[in-house]
Amino acid sequence: MKALLAVLAAVLLAGCGGSAETVTVTTTVTQTVTETAPGDATALPDAVEETRRGLLEAAQSGDVEALEPFVTDRLSYTFGGPVEGGAIEYFKQLEAQGQDPLGTLAKLLQLPYTLAQGNYVWPWVYSVQATDLTDYEKQLLGEFADDFAGTTYLGYRVGIGPDGTWIFFVAGD
């Protein structure tokens, strides 16, 4: 660009009788660079993330009572009838039987999620056929990779509504 302007200036000077006059040409080149900060398309809505984080912290505490603030009438925790004492009592019964509902909850909430019927569900395989899983996804699932009956995932899953309400923590069908 500068070379072209210098040639143009020389031609103009020559066309004007070759005067010994000095011409100064200033060229300003402006370059616009647009950077777009990527948004996290996988980010959970604030209410859902707040509940997920609260449930995770409660589960990691090892104290089943820490789940109490998240228990509502909407929470499904068993496919059987309601347990006397509610969800907290049910989780205590599972612990007494040697199961680890808090550990399971914590592990699930650290896996990727999926959207199912407008709700956020962990793990993402809730809506994936076993035959469609890659080796990496099976590895990511870890112990939960064995929780398929045929091609359907029937292991523990966690659901949180778009408003942040904990709506289920169940296994089976």
Task: Report helix, strand or coil for 114.
Answer: strand
- The domain limits of the chain are 46-170
Asked whether 88 and 59 are in contact (CB, 8 A), the reply is no
Give dist(CA 25, CA 15) in Å, integer: 17
Check whether 46 has a pLDDT greater than 60: yes
**Tens-place pLDDT, residues 89-102:** 999 999 999 999 99
Asked if residues 54 and 70 have their Cβ atoms less than 8 Å apart, the reply is yes
pLDDT tens by residue, 142-155: 999 989 988 899 99
